[in-house]
Amino acid sequence: MLITSPCVVTLTWRLQDTLGNLIDELADPLEFFFGGNDLLEKVEEALLDQTTGFAAELHLEPEHAFGDYDSSLVFFESRAVMPEGIEIGMQFDGPPPGAATPDMPQEAIYTVTEVYPEHVVLDGNHPLAGIALRLNLVVRDVREATEDEIEAGSVGSSAFTVLNTAPPDTPLH
């Protein structure tokens, strides 16, 4: 079956920065909805009209991956408004409860990047923002999408949009 929208592709991959440092390795095949919200646009472009067994090495500049790093998404919040036991790597979906900064975007996921006695640094950028990436991927299977998948535009959580919720040195999977 050719990869065309809508369908579901099963992939494995190895994701590195341009220096060859491993960021993530998906050794066990995982399904993604093609033609929806699960895959980056450049990944879909490479997969279009391919089939099972297709392999590619993609170079993704930040603007084609997780965006450029935006320093305006870094905020300092009082440690007093943070939950007990706050530590580096913790994340908040939107500004944390009690945040005093009025212009924190509501849709961002904030990662605690530094903890000081009086304040905490929250970063609303994706952990891979500003990083050029090398993605080696292999198509393991292609199937028709179900009606539910087509309606949702997804087979579930996307590895390309879900943020790393582990400490900073932990791979995405």
pLDDT digits (tens, 9 = 90+) for 33-47: 999 989 999 999 999
The token pair that represents 98 in the structure block = 């009690």
Q: Please spell the DSSP secondary structure of 84-95, one letter per residue.
A: TT--TT-EEESS
pLDDT at 164 over 50: no
By the 8 A CB rule, do 23 and 129 touch? no
For domain 71-123, the CATH class is mainly beta
Over the range 59-76, which residues count as b (16 or more CB within 10 Å of their CB) and which as e? ebebebbbeeeeeebebe
Give residue limits of the domains in the chain. 7-65+128-152, 71-123
Question: For the domain with range 7-65+128-152, which CATH number is right: 3.60.21.10, 2.140.10.10, 3.40.470.10, 3.10.50.40?
Answer: 3.10.50.40
Burial (CB count <10 Å: 0-12, 13-18, 19+), residue 31: middle
The token pair that represents 58 in the structure block = 């993609």
The token pair that represents 131 in the structure block = 């990083």
pLDDT digits (tens, 9 = 90+) for 93-147: 999 888 888 889 999 999 999 999 999 999 999 999 999 999 999 999 999 999 9
Percent of the chain scored above 70 by pLDDT? 90
- Reported as a pLDDT band with limits 50, 70 and 90, residue 159 is low
Q: Please spell the DSSP secondary structure of 37-103, one letter per residue.
A: TSS-HHHHHHHTT--TT-EEEEEE-GGGTT----GGGEEEEEGGGSPTT--TT-EEESSPTT---TT
